Structure 1
Amino acid sequence: MTVSQYDLRSAAARNVSLRNQRGRSYGQKTGFLCHSHKDRDFAFGLQQWLKEQGLALYIDWLDPYMPDVPDATTADRIRTVIKGVDTFLFLATNDSMGSRWCPWELGYADGVKRNDQIAIVATRDASGNYYGNEYLQLYRRIDQSAAGNALYWYHKGSQSPQSLTNF
């Protein structure tokens, strides 16, 4: 089941003091979140949800080393972080699908990460609109459990859910 944008907003509300991944535990899995900055609530919600499941998620606009205005330093920093994390996640929403940076980040990740290190988080909005189907056949995906309280990943083309702890 695709991830509900409503549930992402609800997850963000569970922890209003979210911090960047710098506080992660030794040995904890890490991820880079590719998303639109317009989807701030969804990004916070996904970060919280994944934190609850043991994955520290990097969000670029929380990074104190990022310049205020995107430039070549921004791209260099993004490249460095993508190379250094365990996994790359693309949060598919209406805004990320229309972003100029998101396709560049996904393309870069595709060139430096193994295919099994990239996953798509397809979402659906309150109107039932679904985002992310263009990429679901190329990469793993992260879906919401039917009970709505957990996220699982699926190998590309598979219908068998795997726990994120095995990501």
Structure 2
Amino acid sequence: MALFLFLRDEGCKPYLPQRFSRKKGQTPNIKDIQNTRDILSASKSLIFLDGPEATRSQWIPWEIGYIAGKNGKVAIFTAAKNQSDITNSEFLSLYPKISHQNGCLIVDKGPREKIELYQWVNT
């Protein structure tokens, strides 16, 4: 939730599916899929919040694939304090990582290529 608030305060319009629509543990229906597709279609990017439970979601690969195919703007933010708590899927290593540096969220696009998150989302 803290990342949601931070993104909102930075001028982004974050969306949390479990907070606003889909219910955890329920089988998705056509309306869930259409709502998710509509939201992703309107999205400029996807920030995947990686944590101990995150890669267990059946939605995550679909959502990442949708945005990756749409515009390639997928980045990963790791929330766990202990990296051993993360059981990443190998596909997550394909995307840039986000870090918190000096009060800003930074997207690490490569060895010498870092950009502020807001700028990355809006370019």
Map of 1:102 onto structure 2: 60
- Equivalenced residues, count: 116
Map of 1:82 onto structure 2: 40
Counterpart of 2:52, as a letter, is N
What is the percent sequence identity of the aligned residues?
A: 23
Trace 1:33-112 onto structure 2 (pairs within 5 A). Answer: 44-63=1-20, 66=21, 69=26, 70-111=28-69
CA spacing shift, 1:94–1:84, aligned 2, 3 Å: same
8 Å Cα contact 1:122/1:133 also seen in 2: no
1:122 and 2:78 correspond:
yes
1:151 and 2:105 correspond:
yes
Map of 2:96 onto structure 1: 140
How far 1:123 sits from its partner (Å)?
A: 2.9
TM-score, structure 1 as length reference: 0.59
Cα distance in 2 for residues equivalent to 1:128 and 1:118: 20
Name the structure, 1 or 2, with higher relative contact order (CA <8 Å, separation 6+).
Answer: 1
SS at match of 1:55: coil
Gaps of 5+ in 1: 1-43
Map of 1:166 onto structure 2: 119
How far 1:45 sits from its partner (Å)?
A: 1.1
8 Å Cα contact 1:89/1:118 also seen in 2: yes
8 Å Cα contact 1:120/1:135 also seen in 2: no
How far 1:79 sits from its partner (Å)?
A: 0.8
Alpha-carbon RMSD across the aligned residues, in angstroms, is 2.4
CA spacing shift, 1:134–1:143, aligned 2, 3 Å: farther
Instruction: Name the structure where helix makes up a greater proportion of residues.
Output: 2
